[in-house]
Amino acid sequence: MHVMLLSCCVLVLLMPGPCFMAPTLIPEVESSPSTEPQVDLKLATEYLQQYYHLQIEPFGRMKRSGSSFTAKVKDMQIFFGINATGVLDSETLEVMRSPRCGVPDVEEYSHIQGTRWNKNVITYSIGRYTRDLPRSTVNSLIESAFSIWARASSLTFVRSNTRKADIMVEFVTYEHGDLYPFDGARGTLAHAFGPGPGVGGDTHFDDDEHWTMGGTGFNLLVVAAHEFGHALGLKHSRNPESLMYPNYKPSPSANLLSREDIANINALYSPVRSRPNHLPRLGWSSQYNPWQPGSLLPRLMQDKCAPDMTFDAVSTVGDATFYFRERYLWIKHNEQYDIKEGPITNFMPKIETRIDAAFWVPRRSTAYLIHESMFWTVKGSLVKGKPRALSHFGFPAWVQDVDAAVHIVKTGRTLFFMHDIYWSYNENRKVMDFGYPKYISVGFPGINSTINAAFHKEGFIYFFVGPQVYKYDYTQKQVVGVDKANSWLGC
């Protein structure tokens, strides 16, 4: 039986080592003596092995100044928003000691990330209970953890009394039959499997931990809600405000889900998962109006002039500009006043998902449309071949999606934006430029928020941030204008 091991999430508490004084910067050369105690090096090595796929040299040797070790430290620092020096400073070690989810941050499990249950009513069952709380309390906390996701999405969770439920919840210890044994108190806290047959969706808690409703011990509601996110198909977030952030937060806010969590669960479980059969597939010149009576398309898309309208991706494609939102598309031709619109599948039948980022390379007459860790190549009005992995562009393995992308003709570079960092890709040499990623706030002063979409036109970059669009002078490095994002659609 094939088992889907999507984001087998394991929350781990690493025991802190002794305090130490570390210099702010240690030269990364073999001749430089290390001042970190061996316990910190051991902690870091084990952490990087587990979460960043660090390869140990033959006979178990590892040098702190080794290039592989330093590169993995930098990967970890970038993921957590720490100054990427490659040095085991106190801030880096503090994060490494923090309780966290055990999914490797750079593990190659992206080919099954983003999978989902092919239904919106999901059953769950509780098997063995913890000894720390009354059964009625456990039932209530587990129900509340599911309700957090239900309130934010189109999902419904139904408790079942059989062992054939989609998600089996159990409190167990040590070896418990899934090849991921627990390790006693104050070690591994819990793990969950992503959607799929067999153990898919199952969520296990280590009953050697002290489970509580808050305060001392580990908050069962918080851990369960995080794990159920993985059981539904979500992956980790680099946003500390997100419930899906890897590190455990013992004192949660009143609202566990961030805006990012809500957006991600709805992107995965959209109320309309497929194109209605009565919608014809039409060319880009279509005059089709999807808002005829009885349309099953999301009401959200009916008012493109809503004041809070945002776009997922914007790109020039030939002599037109494409505006993507969820699974919907507006096409505005540069020499025409009318706007074509409809589901993306009307124009590109092979693409049945939302588009997260898009960019156009004029000299190739080619557009690239990105969804999570995959991208499509579009020439003319045709999607060429099958989607390819985002890693094609040379990203480190932990990059599984990007927020926006834009190609700059003058420099021959394509810029990829993700949260607060960005990369520069050399389209001529087909490699990432050295020294990236860099912080967006440094490379683009005045842009201090996550970028939803971007495109280049007449010497300017237009950054779409929420319901606004910033006109950015790439030469002068400054914002020279601000407008409503949907002003581009005539609003």
The reply, when asked if residue 226 is annotated as ligand binding, is: yes
The reply, when asked if residue 385 is annotated as ligand binding, is: no
The reply, when asked if residue 401 is annotated as ligand binding, is: no
Give the Cα separation of 336 and 458 in Å (integer): 18
Give the Cα separation of 187 and 218 in Å (integer): 12
Question: Which residue of the set 28, 227, 260, 427 is catalytic?
Answer: 227
The reply, when asked if residue 403 is annotated as ligand binding, is: no
The reply, when asked if residue 209 is annotated as ligand binding, is: yes
The reply, when asked if residue 207 is annotated as ligand binding, is: yes
The reply, when asked if residue 244 is annotated as ligand binding, is: yes
The reply, when asked if residue 184 is annotated as ligand binding, is: yes
The reply, when asked if residue 1 is annotated as ligand binding, is: no
Decide if 233 contacts 9 (C-beta within 8 A).
no
Residue 428 tokens read as 């001529």
The reply, when asked if residue 215 is annotated as ligand binding, is: no
CA atoms within 13 Å, Cβ hemisphere of 193: 20
Q: Among residues 195, 113, 118, which one has the least CA distance to residue 389?
A: 113
Phi, psi angle pair for 484, to nearest 5°: -75, 140
Residue 241 tokens read as 């405000």
The reply, when asked if residue 40 is annotated as ligand binding, is: no
Decide if 370 contacts 390 (C-beta within 8 A).
yes
Give the Cα separation of 148 and 225 in Å (integer): 7
Give the Cα separation of 320 and 282 in Å (integer): 17
The reply, when asked if residue 490 is annotated as ligand binding, is: no
The reply, when asked if residue 466 is annotated as ligand binding, is: no
- Catalytic-residue membership of 260: no
The reply, when asked if residue 338 is annotated as ligand binding, is: no
Give the Cα separation of 278 and 296 in Å (integer): 10
The reply, when asked if residue 333 is annotated as ligand binding, is: no
The reply, when asked if residue 166 is annotated as ligand binding, is: yes
Pairing assessment for the beta strands 413-418 and 431-432 based on DSSP bridges: unpaired
Phi, psi angle pair for 352, to nearest 5°: -115, 20
| Binding-site residues | 101, 132, 166, 176, 178, 183-184, 191, 200, 202, 204, 206-207, 209, 226, 230, 236, 244, 312, 356, 358, 405
| Binding-site residues for Zn(2+) | 101, 176, 178, 191, 204, 226, 230, 236, 244
List residues with catalytic annotation: 227
| Binding-site residues for Ca(2+) | 132, 166, 183-184, 200, 202, 206-207, 209, 312, 356, 358, 405
